[in-house]
Structures are given as C-alpha cells and as structure tokens.
Structure 1
Amino acid sequence: MKNIIWFTLSLVFSMACIAEETSVKLEVIDPYLEMHTGPAVGYPVIYTVEQGEDIEVLTRRPDWYEIRSNTGRIGWVKASQIARTLQPTGEPVDLPSVSYGDYLKDSLSLGFNVGEFSSGELKGAQTFTFTSEQRWLSWFSTELEAGKLYDSEVRGRYVGANFLFEPYSDWVISPVITAGGGEMKITVQPKLIPLSIEDSSYVQYGIGGNFYLGRNFVIRAGYRKYTVSTEQDDERLDRWHIGFNAFF
C-alpha cells in the first residue's frame, strides 16, 4: 500500500514538473492584451493585461491561447496577440499558429536594396533604393520606394508605390508577389544615342522572397518586370535586387 501511495505521489509530482517545464512565460509588448472568458471573440473581455506585464501560456485552441496573468487571472487571447510578446530572453516567442506576419502586423519597416537592370535600354545600370513599408495584415503590405540608377553613361532616379502580397508569412523563407507603379527620370543621357526613357511613368510586377532573421529583421530578394511609357513604344525592363529591412 505504501509503495502505491509513493508511486502515486511521484507520478503527480512528475506531472506537475512536466507542466511547469512546458508552460511558457512571456512579456506583453503591446499597449494592452485583452483576455476573454472563452476562445472566441463573442466571449466577454474579463481582464486587460498591460504593457510590460508577464503572462503564462497554459493551453491552445485554434487561433486562441489560454493564459494566466501575473495577478492570477485566467482567460483566452487571440494567437495574433500572443505574437506580440517576448520571452524572458528578450526574443519573440515561436508558438504554433503564430507567424512572422502576425507579429509584424501594423508595423512599419525601413530598408534598402541594391540591384541591376538586366534587360532593356537600362541593361547594366546599377540601382540603390530606400524603402518604407507598412504591414496592414499578416499577408499584405504597402511600400514606398525612392532610388537612383547609374552606370558609366546614364544617371537617373525613380519613385514608386507598391503592393506586397505574402500568402505564406508563417514561413522563415516566404514568397512575395509585388505590383505597383511610379515615375522614372533620366538626368544624364548617353552622349551618342539618347534613351527613349526620359521623364516617364512605369508599372511593374514581380516575385521575390523574404528570409526572416528573428521577428524584426528580414533579408529580401526579388525580380521585377517594368513597362515604361515612352513617346514611341513602351520600353520593357527587368531588374533584380537584394536588400535588408528592419521592422519597428
């Protein structure tokens, strides 16, 4: 009988230790985090965890997590809100159903890229571009860009606005589709044969990829096809680029 009691106590103690080890403690970095009585928006909000407070993740449901606040309150929060938390080490948490896109939603990023035109009248011209991106949804963002192009005989600049679609934003290496347009101005023309592109508008589309370095930094690469309006026929250009962005 004594052996059974000791075995039972040991089993309970072991299960408690496992539960203690598998629980996850996090720090809230958003202004607040709403706790619901159940795993759905229809359940009432019972408590609000403020920025800087610690929470403990208990269980999971599809798109929801049950948590305990540092005051002992227990409730449910959306997975997208859990994405905006930090581990005790200061690193963003990686939990099931929480993606990079969820974490970066509503964030602003600044970055740059370098590239080269690989076809058309500007073939061989190098590019340097500054970008600013607003992530509206986990899979959708808008981007403003301003850059310069140059080679031995050509100088110019361009500005544009683009839409970025990232359907698999939960992947570490995630494909991206881009579409947009802007204005291109050639300020220095070749001496012998001037380009048909001078002060022109353009539209572009392309594909690329994001490689996430943690939750706030990403290396980007892509290939874009341009259609530039000229006085005669439209000019077709291709450009590849690679760069770096940081989210805030």
Structure 2
Amino acid sequence: MHLSHRLAAGLAGLSVLLPLSLRAQEQAPNQSPASSAGLPDVQAAPAPASPPVANMAPSEPSGKLLARVRVIGPYLDMRSGPGRGYPIFYAAEREEWVVIELRHTDWFKVRTSRGQAGWVSREQMRQTVTEDGVPFELADPTLQAFLDRRFDLGVGYGATAKTSFTRVWAGWRFSDTMSLDLNGADVQGQSYTIALWSASLLSEPWSDKRFSPFMGVGVGHYNYVPNKNVVNRKEADGNMGIFTLGGRYYLASRVALRIDYSRYAAFTSDKNYRNFQAGTIGLSLHF
C-alpha cells in the first residue's frame, strides 16, 4: 500500500517537471553563453567616431553635396568678409577640400571640412580644382550674359575722304551660331545721299568667346537721291545683295564693340549693277 502511494506521487511530480524542462530548452538558444553559465551579459561597445580629416570633401548636414573644390596651391586665405579690407583669419592647406556656399561679385564664401567658413577672392580660387581635377574657373556673370545674349541693338560709323556712312542695326540670335541682322544705313556723299535697308544671316562659329568673328550674306533695298545742285538730278532705287565680315568684342556690362566690312552689289537694272563697299565701327547693347 505504501509502495503504490509512493509510485503515484512520483508520477505526479514527473508530469509537472517535464513541461518545465521543455520550456527551459526552448528558451536556452536565445540566451548567450555567458548567461547560461551564470555570467553577466556584456554588450560590445560602439566604435568611437573618427575625427574630421582635412582632405575629406565636406557636405551639408542633409548629406547633399554642394559645389566643392580642392586646394592645390600652398594655401587658401580666408577672410572674415568679401573684401581685401577684412582680415585673414584662417588659411586652408594644400589638398584640403572646401565647399562653395555663396558668391558675391568676385568673392566666394567657402567652408572647410573642419567647419571654418570665410571669404576667398576670385584670384585665389584659381589655386583650386574641381572633383574632376579641372582647374576651377567661373565665368564673369556679365560676360556670361553676353555669351547667352539673344538680342542686340547698336549704332556704327564709318567715313572716307568723300563719304560718311552711318549705320544702325538690330540682331536676333536664334541659335548658338546663327543670327538675323537687320540694318539701316545712310550714306552721305559729296553730290548724293543713299538710304539702305537690309536683312542678313550671320554665322558666328566661335560665339562662346569674348571676341566673336562673324560672316554673313543678305539682301536689301537702296534709294539713291542726288543733291539739289546736280544738273541731271534723277532719283533711283533698286535691290541689292550684301556680303559682310566682322567681329564683336565684349567690353563690359552689356556693351560690345562691333567692327564690320560690307560689300554691296546694287542692281540698277536687270543687267547692270554697281559695287560699293563700307566699313564701320560701333557699339552694341545686348539683352
């Protein structure tokens, strides 16, 4: 009787201990070896942040990179303001990266990888290169406006011992190398006056340069008026063809110098024509 009671108690205890043992085995793989051995769980310490490096290209906090250049000269003087009157407070070293944040006329606000921010002159910025290794050069904004021009207006003047030639023109640049040139001119001779109107197509193969040569052909109309003191006074008008060579040279702001030479073939009849030529120099405004 006592033996049967002991056997029943043992089976009841085994039914309780067996589920507890299985639960412990399921949880064991999720525990570290240190925990299963009764040792405190130690987590790996995070790697220390690396200090800033001078030759790393800096970026905005958002991660978006700005225009940046690398110093290739001995140093890059940074001033507290955009002008030579401001003191130099820092010099960026060779191989150091700087970010261009702002431009004010010929001064650039830059920031180094060490967080120093200051102003650098255009002249000193020539001692830097871009990320592609190309020397840094930013076009003068007024020169760029001339290179990107679409319209221009101007007036020119030419003279010889016997005549004077006054010209006004308006141009429309409809592509990088082609433009439409409209001209009106007045020729004053010793015994006559000639009024000219013409339209020409000009080709400018190097229109992206400060000096831009051009050549063109066109058609026009003329009106010949003799002076009142001429005995056989007879007015005449007709059509003409034009060939032009010349060039523009950018001066400053919106002003360019224009020099051209034109040769005209004026048709006095179906079979006859007269040639004359004129050279002018003048100024043009571009828009």
TM-score range, shorter chain: 0.5 to 0.7
1:185 is aligned, of 213, 220, 223, to: 223
CA distance in 2, matches of 1:20, 1:147: 53
1:114 is aligned, of 157, 164, 175, to: 157
1:224 is aligned, of 242, 262, 265, to: 262
Q: Hey, what does 1:243 align to over in structure 2?
A: 282
- Asked which structure has the greater RCO (Cα within 8 Å, sep 6+), the reply is 1
**Higher alpha-carbon Rg:** 2
Q: Hey, what does 2:198 align to over in structure 1?
A: 160
RMSD value, Cα: 3.7
1:19 is aligned, of 98, 112, 116, to: 98
Contact residue 203 and residue 226 of structure 1 kept, 8 A: yes
1:15-54 CA-partner distances (Å, limit 9, x unpaired): 7964235x77489xxxxxxxxxxxxxxxxxxxxxxxxxxx
Shift in alpha-carbon separation, 1:167–1:93, aligned structure 2, 3 A: closer
TM alignment of 1:1-248, pairs within 5 A: 9-12=53-56, 14=93, 18-20=97-99, 25=103, 91-92=141-142, 100-101=146-147, 103-104=148-149, 107-116=150-159, 124-189=162-227, 191=230, 198-214=236-252, 216-231=254-269, 233-248=272-287
Q: Which moved more, 1:9-18 or 1:204-213?
A: 9-18
Shift in alpha-carbon separation, 1:166–1:93, aligned structure 2, 3 A: closer
**Structure 1 unaligned runs (5+)?**
28-57, 61-81
CA distance in 2, matches of 1:132, 1:146: 9
CA distance in 2, matches of 1:93, 1:199: 42
How many angstroms does 1:9 deviate by? 3.8
Q: Secondary structure at the match of 2:98?
A: helix
Contact residue 100 and residue 169 of structure 1 kept, 8 A: no
Q: TM-score normalised to the size of structure 2? A: 0.51
> 1:227 is aligned with what amino acid?
A
- The percentage of counterpart residues that share the same residue type is 17
CA distance in 2, matches of 1:225, 1:93: 31
Q: TM-score normalised to the size of structure 1? A: 0.58
**Structure 2 unaligned runs (5+)?**
1-49, 57-91, 106-129, 133-137
